[in-house]
Amino acid sequence: MSLSPHFLDELRNRLTLSEIIGRRIKVTRAGRESKACCPFHSEKSPSFTINDDKQFYHCFGCGAHGDVIGFIMKHDNLAFMDAVETLAAEAGMQVPKQTPQAAAKAKKEKDLYELLEDTTVFFEQHLRDSRNADALNYLLERGLSQEIIAEFKVGFAPDDGQALRKFLSAKDYTDKDMIKAGVLRPSTRGGDPYAFFRDRVMFPVPDRRGRTVAFGGRILPDHLRPPQRGDFVPPKYINSSETVLFHKGSMLYGEPTARRAAADGQTLVLVEGYLDVIACAQAGIRGALAPMGTAVTEEQLISMWKMIPDFTKIPLLCFDGDNAGRKAARRASERLLPLLEPGRSVNFAFMPDGEDPDSLIKSSGVKGFQKILGSSVSLFDFIWNFYTQGRVFKTPELRAGVIKQLENEVAHVANQEVQVHYKSQLREKVSETFFKRKEYGFKKRDFGGYGKSRNQGGAVIPMRPPSTKNRATRIFTHALLAAVINHPHIFEGVEDALCELTLSDVALDRLRQNIMGILSDDPLIERKVLIEQLKNSGFAQEIGDICNESVYVHASFCSPSAKEEDVQSSWLKSWQDGHSAGLGNEIQSGWKNVSCEEDEEKLRNLLLMKTSDDEI
């Protein structure tokens, strides 16, 4: 029994041919296609090509040719239904039961495709009818050529509500079929069904295989239409209602043309309407697509990515430059973030006020439109601009607020690998925009060689374990350094004090300098990333000596589990109390004249201090 064409199309669309074949034979990428040694005859040089865009394989050696179902049938030696069931399992689909009802449904779908193709011909014929010359002239005056009109099968629906019904009835289609296809509307007054589209320029909507599945209709300008009856004002555009063949949220107008353009290396450009797509195609920008009168959906975005054969898939979304366009772009960005994957993103472009691609190409030529496309911004930059453009962040609270908003945006990136890179780019952007490096009175290369391996830039004196005599000094300085390592966010508040801290131990002082160098470059760096960078620079031993429980037990504020809001104040109070007790000078001189017992007691008194939340 037959399966419906719609089901088989959906099955093919959900699968990537090269991936299915690649699970059975060795496949290598070759430009926009894939190649392999043919599994159906013996050969040493690959002559078996796979085209994901066109969904077929072909062997130039033996002539084997087919789609994903045909390959599985031949390679796995399966019957048609067995091959379909195998592929459906991989695609996560249920195969319709083979019943008389299913067979009847499949035939009805096939009949609907034929009915819609006949309807397309009807509209095309009426556009060429001399009685509808105004409609054709309207398109020509908009700059469309006869060739592009024919390529996109643009037509015209006459005002006569029964003309299409008579035309299709003569081809043995029933009223029920026409209503189901969405080209007729039942009468609410008990009369005959009448045409859904009347007195409109018609745009057939093709599926990926070029078959008409729906229509969009544009009303003619006022001067070309009869006067309005009453107060009714017809909408400028109307689209077919949803049918078994047409799902508005998953379709993109212009897909067959754009898919071929993507295979040829052109960028996919999402525009707003039918005439924008056609004007772009006529100007040579044949990767243009349009949603079906709605905001772009997740399904449409994924469909665009699938059209691009390369690993890097970055289509361009083009919006109006007004507030409505910006809001539409914002909604698109919200849908995009959870869908991002390595190599898969979008760019955003905005039209000048009052312009759309069709009008801009007409007024400024294709170069004018290409200039707009060339000024597009990445998804990250769009989100950054959305929150920061035109705003001034004078206070720490305002800066912290916008940073929090941006961090929340990044958290919506579901793919962890991509999210890591978004976080990194956000840190860089925040550092570049809100924080300026403080100059510490010497050049970066003299700043202890921070950011480099400790073995670069001269000899390093090996760190020797401090004597028992200097244990208190060691714990005190370790606590200050550990707090900054475990809580990098306090750096801005303790930077000046940390700069003044000069340690007699060369290795520890280099560690301090490296910490300051990294944090002044990237104030938002995460603890784990900071520790990893320090270890990669050769400070693994020092990190182990500093960040451990033997230090935390004496100074709980430096522990990773300390309350975030208390760490900075505790750090500064420790520093100030240390100076008041003369510890600053003692630290710098190496604590040469202080006994271990005295140091230990003094350290405990300093570090077990009170804060606003009581004992640390």
Residue 98 pLDDT level (bands cut at 50, 70, 90): low
**Predicted TM-score (pTM) of this structure:** 0.62
Q: Is pLDDT of 365 > 60?
A: yes
CA distance 615 to 338: 44
Is pLDDT above 80 for 585?
no
Mean pLDDT of the chain: 83
Q: What is the reported pLDDT for 472?
A: 62
pLDDT at 456 over 60: no
The per-residue pLDDT for 78 is: 82
Place of tokens 């009807």: 122
pLDDT bin (cut points 50, 70, 90) of residue 578 is low
Are the beta carbons of 95 and 84 closer than 8 angstroms?
yes
The reported pLDDT for the residue numbered 615 is: 36
* Higher-confidence position of 573 and 401: 401
- CA 13, distance to chain mean position in Å, is 21
Would you state the pLDDT for residue 607? Answer: 40
Extract the tokens encoding 45: 């040089």
pLDDT range class, residue 196, cuts 50, 70, 90: very high
Q: What is the mean pLDDT of residues 17-37?
A: 89
Residues of 176-215 as b/e, b for ≥16 C-beta within 10 angstroms? ebbbbbbbbeeeeeeeebbbbbbbbbbbbbbbbeebbbbb
- Average pLDDT of the residues in 372-396: 92
Share of the chain above pLDDT 90, in %: 49
Determine the length of the chain.
616
% of the chain beyond a pLDDT of 70: 85
| Among 104-108, 322-326, 553-557, 612-616, the least confident range | 612-616
What pLDDT was estimated at residue 438? 40
pLDDT at 504 over 50: yes
d(CA 450, CA 454): 8
Q: Check residue 341 and report its DSSP letter.
A: B
Q: Which stretches does DSSP call E strand in 528-570?
A: none
According to the model, what pLDDT value does residue 605 have?
46
What is the rounded distance in angstroms from the CA atom of residue 443 to the CA atom of residue 357? 51
Dump the DSSP string for 523-576. TT--HHHHHHHHHHTT-HHHHHHHSSHHHHTT-GGGSTTS-HHHHHHHHHHHHH
Residue 501 banded pLDDT, cuts 50, 70, 90: confident
- Confidence category of residue 448, pLDDT binned at 50, 70, 90: very low
- Quote the CA–CA distance of 287 and 273 in Å, as a whole number: 14
For the segment 521-526, the average pLDDT, to the nearest whole number, is 82
- CB count in 10 Å sphere of residue 350: 19
Give residues with Cβ within 8 angstroms of 499, minimum separation 6: 438, 440, 516
Look up residue 119 and give its DSSP letter: H
* 30 against 413, higher pLDDT: 413
Q: Of 459, 502, 454, whose CA–CA distance to 481 is shortest?
A: 502
Residue 284, pLDDT score: 95
Report how far residue 170's alpha carbon sits from residue 166's, in angstroms, rounded to the nearest whole number: 6
pLDDT reading at 455 higher than 50? no
Please report which helix (H) or strand (E) contains residue 506, including its range.
Answer: helix 506-521
Is the pLDDT at 102 greater than 70, yes or no?
no
Q: Is the pLDDT of residue 405 over 50?
A: yes
The pLDDT value recorded for residue 225 is 78
pLDDT of residue 440: 36
Q: So what's the pLDDT on residue 341?
A: 92
Burial of 446 (0-12, 13-18, 19+ CB in 10 A): exposed
Give the pLDDT of residue 70: 93
Report the pLDDT value the prediction gives residue 142, as an integer from 0 to 100.
Answer: 92
Work out the pLDDT band at 253, boundaries 50, 70, 90: very high
pLDDT category at 229 given cuts 50, 70, 90 is low
Nearest to 284 by CA among 373, 350, 153: 373
* Domains defined for the chain, CATH in brackets: 5-91 (3.90.580.10), 100-239 (3.90.980.10), 255-375 (3.40.1360.10), 382-450 (no CATH), 467-607 (no CATH)
Higher pLDDT, 600 or 432: 432
Distance between CA atoms of residues 493 and 472, nearest Å? 25
Average pLDDT, stretch 406-412?
A: 95
